[in-house]
Structure 1
Amino acid sequence: MDSSVKAVPARVGAFRKRIAWVFGLQFLTVLIICILGAYNVVPTVAVVAVIVVITIVAWFTTRREWRPVRALARLVNRWDAQQLDPETLKLDELSHHADADVASLARGLHGFATRIAGYNQRERNFTRDASHELRSPLTVIKMSVDMLAEEEGLSDFGTRSVRRIKRATREMEVLVEALLILARETDTATEKEYFVVNDVLRQELESARELLAGRPIELLLQEPARFALKGSPQAFSVLCWQLIRNACQQTEQGSVVISVLPGVVSVRNQANPQVSDDALRPVRVHGVDRHGFELAIAQRISDRFGWPLELQTQPGHENIARLCFPHTLPVDAELAEKDQQR
């Protein structure tokens, strides 16, 4: 912080005192001139002229006292929050005669700009490091698991282990994508893409079916409607994956139904509370876990992109997660837009 702002604390309230003196003298002068005019000591024209002059002088004096505040407002208006150096605020441009209140605002602004700059730097470092340092080993693990799965003579235990590693790798990959989405700043170019909701859901279901191989859970897709969105297909994919994964964890046996309705995507799990053949015990049925990690990530993404998420538990061991989309687009909107541009 510049020395001029640091040296002002002794002048606390000086602005208010000077303004009080200006208006006090103005009132006293007007009162005296009005009394003199009332007793015909001074002509009426002179009274009006003196009042006008005093008002103009008071206005210029007040304007001069307001200059430090205007200078601070101009500095804030020129400030770019993306700048990593808080010194770009140029707070040293403030007048050396700035009031202590203005200096306090400047110090607070400087501290706030420093924190914002540090946050921006940490965001860039995290997104850069996470994109490279986490994705690279995950790619190696995926390739190694695929090669191991093609080995001949792999035992049943080895096959199950490979399947678990593949599932954990996919979950870790989606988690990294979710953290990167939440860490990046909004209004980027990737968050304004046109995509069809049904197509993204089909891709997620294909990936989920591979990871659910061997488990008595059936994934179903119902498409009474088709619609598109303008946003981040990656964020929508991660959001749906978290809901599907959470629904699969709600029960050990049953079905997970994903329905595409007009402006709504619902994920519901229907547990089959019958006795399993191998364990001879009832299948566990869970209610909606509103504090699960999957739903916590899903809730943050839905809040980030303005896609409200509703959770319900209905009779018959059925849990429903419903995504609402206030601004939907027709499936052929992108083609129509391209035709208009042509």
Structure 2
Amino acid sequence: MVSRDRSQPAGVFHRGLFYRRLAIIFGLQWLAIVIVCLMGIYDVAPASAVLVLIVIISSLAWLAARRQWAPVSRLAQAVSDWDEQSPDLGSWQADQLPERTDADVATLASSLYGFANRIAGYNQRERNFTRDASHELRSPLTVIKMSADMLADDPMLGEFGQRSVQRIKRSTREMEALVEALLILARESDNGLTEEDFVVNDVLRDELPDVLEMLEGRPITLELEEPARFALHGSPRVFAVLCWQLIRNACQQAEGGTVVVTVMPGVVTVTHRGEAPAPTSADRHGFELAIAQRISERFHWPLELQTREGRRHIARIRFPESSPVT
């Protein structure tokens, strides 16, 4: 069985039909103009009549050429009105085109129709993934958190068991932040996030208990410095996830000391203060920064990374459309 190339239009279309029609139109135009000019030269018609006939012939030729271009204009309009959530391009499916359609136009329509189908399929898979992943990943994490809380309250659990439970709780919280970040990045066409005006300082303070829970059992403290206050219009959840990733990265880089989150006018910085990592230790810039970089690019919040003396890393997020809060 021989499969047909899907990019080729169904039906029989003539390639170059558009150019042949234009050649006929302009050929007839020139022939008519030559005849009219000869009529003027041999005094068959007055000069004024010759000029009027030339204008009429040129106008008719222009209208005929415009009519030949009309299918391309209608196709452009169909693409302009196309909703990416639907593969429908009106009557521009290859099997619905008139047989006298130029083959180039039919190929363009068929390719656009196939492209529209792929985009609509991608959007549907995206919605299915984000919906299923949101449920199937968060549900077991909730069960793990509840079970860990129950184990932590067990008086028979020894010191080693308590440390293990705390590690489970910390890893579960990190996994929740990771799932949240991946779901945000997976929603390309419809992010499903509520935008509102919010004060970044308030969001950071609300997130501090979860971050402290993640740091429990590690020789790292967290501080929030607020020399300024400012507000943003956007998703507070996205902002919180972005800061989460930068704080997680700072904690991964640090062996101890203090991770400081500083709010300046239109800027939030995350830095580590304290004993610097040993020069021979591995640079653990990794997944957290990759996610933070993608979120910053997606929402147009520039992210700057600096390394100062002592291999201390500073992450700085700029918010160009921030507004000060008094």
TM-score, normalised by the number of residues in structure 1: 0.86
Question: In structure 1, how many angstroms separate the alpha carbons of the residues matched to 2:267 and 2:173?
Answer: 26
Larger mean CA deviation between 66-75 and 196-205 belongs to 66-75
Q: Does 1:310 align with 2:304?
A: yes
Question: In structure 1, how many angstroms separate the alpha carbons of the residues matched to 2:274 and 2:91?
Answer: 63
Consecutive aligned runs of 4 or more in structure 1 exceeding 6 Å deviation: none
Question: In structure 1, how many angstroms separate the alpha carbons of the residues matched to 2:139 and 2:113?
Answer: 39
Alignment of 1:88-103 (within 5 A): 89-92=90-93, 94-103=97-106
Q: Which residue of 1 aligns with 2:23?
A: 20
Once the 2 structures are TM-superposed, how far is the Cα of residue 187 of structure 1 from its aligned partner?
A: 6.5
Q: Which residue of 1 aligns with 2:248?
A: 245
Structure 1 residues 247 and 301: CA distance shift in structure 2, 3 A: same
Please report the RMSD computed on the Cα atoms of aligned residues, expressed in angstroms: 2.4
Once the 2 structures are TM-superposed, how far is the Cα of residue 88 of structure 1 from its aligned partner?
A: 5.3
Question: In structure 2, how many angstroms separate the alpha carbons of the residues matched to 1:186 and 1:288?
Answer: 32
How many residues are paired up? 319
Give the letter aligned to residue 149 of structure 1.
A
Q: Which residue of 1 aligns with 2:126?
A: 123
Question: In structure 1, how many angstroms separate the alpha carbons of the residues matched to 2:185 and 2:91?
Answer: 32
Give the 3-state SS of the residue equivalent to 1:106 in structure 2: helix
Give the 3-state SS of the residue equivalent to 2:125 in structure 1: helix
Question: In structure 2, how many angstroms separate the alpha carbons of the residues matched to 1:162 and 1:283?
Answer: 32
Contact 2:276 2:310 (8 Å CA) reproduced: no
Q: Deviations over 1:68-98 (max 9, x none)?
A: 2233233223321112xx2453325543321
Percent identity between the two aligned chains: 59
Question: In structure 1, how many angstroms separate the alpha carbons of the residues matched to 2:145 and 2:69?
Answer: 64
Question: In structure 2, how many angstroms separate the alpha carbons of the residues matched to 1:160 and 1:230?
Answer: 41
Contact 1:252 1:283 (8 Å CA) reproduced: no
- Residue of structure 1 aligned with 2:314, choices 300, 303, 320: 320
Once the 2 structures are TM-superposed, how far is the Cα of residue 7 of structure 1 from its aligned partner?
A: 2.3
- Residue of structure 1 aligned with 2:136, choices 115, 133, 136: 133
Structure 1 residues 41 and 121: CA distance shift in structure 2, 3 A: same
Larger mean CA deviation between 214-223 and 190-199 belongs to 190-199
Question: In structure 2, how many angstroms separate the alpha carbons of the residues matched to 1:107 and 1:15?
Answer: 17
Larger mean CA deviation between 19-28 and 34-43 belongs to 34-43
Structure 1 residues 264 and 286: CA distance shift in structure 2, 3 A: farther
The structure with the greater share of residues assigned to helix is 1
Q: Which residue of 1 aligns with 2:208?
A: 205
Once the 2 structures are TM-superposed, how far is the Cα of residue 309 of structure 1 from its aligned partner?
A: 0.5
Give the 3-state SS of the residue equivalent to 1:266 in structure 2: strand
Q: Deviations over 1:95-121 (max 9, x none)?
A: 332111111110111111111111111
Once the 2 structures are TM-superposed, how far is the Cα of residue 21 of structure 1 from its aligned partner?
A: 2.0
Q: Does 1:173 align with 2:167?
A: no
Question: In structure 2, how many angstroms separate the alpha carbons of the residues matched to 1:307 and 1:76?
Answer: 32
Q: Which residue of 1 aligns with 2:80?
A: 77
Structure 1 residues 76 and 35: CA distance shift in structure 2, 3 A: same
Alignment of 1:273-288 (within 5 A): 273=276
TM-score, normalised by the number of residues in structure 2: 0.90
Give the letter aligned to residue 290 of structure 2.
A
Q: Which residue of 2 aligns with 1:145?
A: 148
Q: Which residue of 1 aligns with 2:36?
A: 33
Structure 1 residues 225 and 284: CA distance shift in structure 2, 3 A: farther
Once the 2 structures are TM-superposed, how far is the Cα of residue 25 of structure 1 from its aligned partner?
A: 2.3
